[in-house]
Structure formats: structure tokens, C-alpha cells
Structure 1
Amino acid sequence: MINIKSYTIINPILVGKIGRVYGILGWINLFSLTENKEKIFSYLPWFTLKNKKWKTIQLKNWKKHNNRFIIQINNVIDRSIASTWTNADIFIDQSQLPKLKKNEYYWNDIIKCEVFNVKHQYLGTVINLTSNKYNDTILIKNKIKKNKTIMIPFIIEKIVKNIDIKNKTIIVQWN
């Protein structure tokens, strides 16, 4: 059993999702959204939003199973109780993340940054980041151009010229 101290969530960050029930003993599938999938277990405690209130998820056990994870939550002892957790989002508080070095940032820090090209033209606001086998991509919503979504490869130096987290701006080599 993993012990959890009292904790308050102020700046929630989505790190995972609970999937369908696995077996009859209360195990549940877990989908990690962290870059290193197993890293999600180093960010305890987890939280979920139920009935507009933050609830702490107290993890009893976890294990890797067929290239994914299954978990047991305290006091979840059978399939019917476990099914009440299906599709629950898992959050942590931003304060639980490790401190970064200078010029490092989390993807979460890039969300809501204003994006401009090198000619100082406004392209939009970052709404999300995605990853594929070739590179990461930032998704930008431009409200001026009828909510057009722009996808720009997140390639530092070649395309992404500057990231200023403090002022929430990104400069890109893009038309």
C-alpha cells in the first residue's frame, strides 16, 4: 500500500485516465499521459474530480501488464466497485512536478502561449501539443481566421525560434 499525506490541488494537470475494469478482483486499466509512461507512479498523490470536488486516489497496487498498466485503488475489491472509476481523469497538482533547469519547460507551460512568426505576425494561441513518431507538434487556434487550427512541427531552432514562458510567447519560422 502507498501512503498519502494530506494534499490540496491548486493547479491541476491531467496525467492519465482510468480505463475499463480488468478481471474480477477490482483491478483497473490505466492510461498514462506522461512522456515516460511509468513516470505517472512517481507523481502521487493522484486526484480526480467527482461531483465538483477533488478526491484523492489512494493507490493500493500497480503493475505493468501487456505493455500497459493495471492498478488497484484502496477499498476497490471487486469488479462492480471498480467500474465506478471507469473513464475518470487523473490529475496531479503542478507543484508535484520536479523543478526544471533554466530554459526547460513542461508542455503544460506552453499551452495558452501566443504564437508569432519571425515577421511579428500573430498566428494564434497554443491549445495543445501532440506527439508522433517523427516529432512533436503544437496546435494553434487562430480566432481571427474563423477559429482555424494551425499545426506547426515543434522543432527547436529550425522552426521554433524562441519560447518565452514568462511572457507566454513563442516565435516560429512559419508563414
Structure 2
Amino acid sequence: MDKADLLIMGHVTGVHGLKGYIKVKSHAASSNTFDSGVRIFVGPSVSRGKWHTIVKTASHKKGLRMLLADVDINAAQTLVGMDIFIPRADLPDLDDDTYYWNDLIGMTVNDINQGVLGTIEHVMATGSNDVFVVTGGTREVLVPSLAHVVLSVDLESRTMTVDLPEGL
């Protein structure tokens, strides 16, 4: 498998219990992304890490608790801070006007009034809507992912056109 086809779908935030469960902050819209039997790649990047198979996943506070087939408590502790990647082919097709965060990172953001704001550095989930963190311009800009703000996204040209509300 080409590692360029891996998308980051979560982050290991800690361990839980003595059996080797890891605590995961999920970036997936559905917890089904991490069903039993799913193979995930865990590491600091797509170029370094290891494949694991999920044995069990359960909701846990604001995230997930996940048991991996070949991970005991000692191995689980070494995974803290690592990212979780899933092959794009294993993810569901998206609805129109819906994008994977990885496809938006690095995209140039243009405001219809202010011009180029910079590029999307990362995306934050806030509960009500995602927020694009745009850097590289004169200042950091937080762009809410709302239909009346994000006017268009062009994956081919890697540009997003926005109409920022006054004050942002």
C-alpha cells in the first residue's frame, strides 16, 4: 500500500487500564471507522509506524478506548502521542461539500474582501462546527466551517474561497 493513501483519523492520548487499551481522540465523523477487525497504521508519521488490528473499541469520555491485537500495557504506553492513520480506500465515500481534513491541510484560503489569508495549518473540531486555522498571512485567522462562510473548495487547485464575517 502507498503510504500517501493514508489519512490521519485520530491521535493516541493515553492508556487505559492494565490490558493495553489506548485512549484515542478521534477525527472520524463516525465511530464505525474504528470497528473491530479494522487495520490501522499507528506512528508519528505515515513514513514511520506499525500496522495494528483493532480488537475492540468503546466510547470513553470525550474519545474512544481501543484495544489492539498485538498491544499489551507496555506497548500501549509507547503509542501515546502517535497518530492513527487509515487507508483512504477503507473510508466511506463523502457527500458533496464534505471533505477529509487531510485534503484541506495546506490549502490556500482567499477571502472575497481581504484576498489571500494564508494556508490551512490544521483543523479543530469544536462540537458545533469545525474551524480552519489559517496561518502564513499577516495574522492567524480562525475560519468557521459554515456554509455561509466557506463559499467554495477546489481540491484540484487547492484553494478555498471564504466570506469572513466582520471582525474575523
Query: Do they fold alike, i.e. is TM over 0.5?
Result: yes
Residue 54 (structure 2) aligns with? 59
Residue 3 (structure 1) aligns with? none
Residue 142 (structure 2) aligns with? 151
Structure 1 portions without partners, runs of 5+: 1-6
Does structure 1 retain, via aligned residues, the 8 Å contact 2:22–2:66? yes
TM-score, normalised by the number of residues in structure 1: 0.74
Structure 2 portions without partners, runs of 5+: none
Residue 171 (structure 1) aligns with? 161
**2-side partners of 1:20 and 1:107: how far apart?**
23
Q: CA 1:119 to 1:69, structure 2 compared with 1: closer, same or farther past 3 Å?
A: closer
Measured after TM superposition, the shift of residue 22 of structure 1 is 2.0
| Pairing 1:22-101 to 2, within 5 Å after superposition | 22-36=16-30, 38-42=31-35, 44-49=38-43, 53-65=48-60, 68-77=63-72, 79-101=73-95
Q: CA 1:160 to 1:48, structure 2 compared with 1: closer, same or farther past 3 Å?
A: same
Does structure 2 retain, via aligned residues, the 8 Å contact 1:18–1:90? yes
Measured after TM superposition, the shift of residue 63 of structure 1 is 2.9
Does structure 2 retain, via aligned residues, the 8 Å contact 1:114–1:170? yes
**1-side partners of 2:124 and 2:63: how far apart?**
20
* Code of the aligned partner of 2:52: I
What secondary structure sits across from 2:4 in the alignment? coil
TM-score, normalised by the number of residues in structure 2: 0.77
**2-side partners of 1:152 and 1:66: how far apart?**
27
**1-side partners of 2:109 and 2:44: how far apart?**
35
Residue 3 (structure 2) aligns with? 9
* Code of the aligned partner of 2:15: V
The structure number with the bigger radius of gyration is 1
**1-side partners of 2:67 and 2:17: how far apart?**
11
Deviations 1:39-98 (A, max 9, x none): 331593210237953410122233334564322222334x33432333322111233322
Which of 62-71 and 123-132 deviates more?
A: 62-71
Residue 112 (structure 2) aligns with? 118
- In the alignment of these two chains, the number of paired residues is 163
**1-side partners of 2:21 and 2:81: how far apart?**
14
**1-side partners of 2:13 and 2:82: how far apart?**
8
Deviations 1:116-166 (A, max 9, x none): 2224722211222223244332221134x2xx211122221x222222222
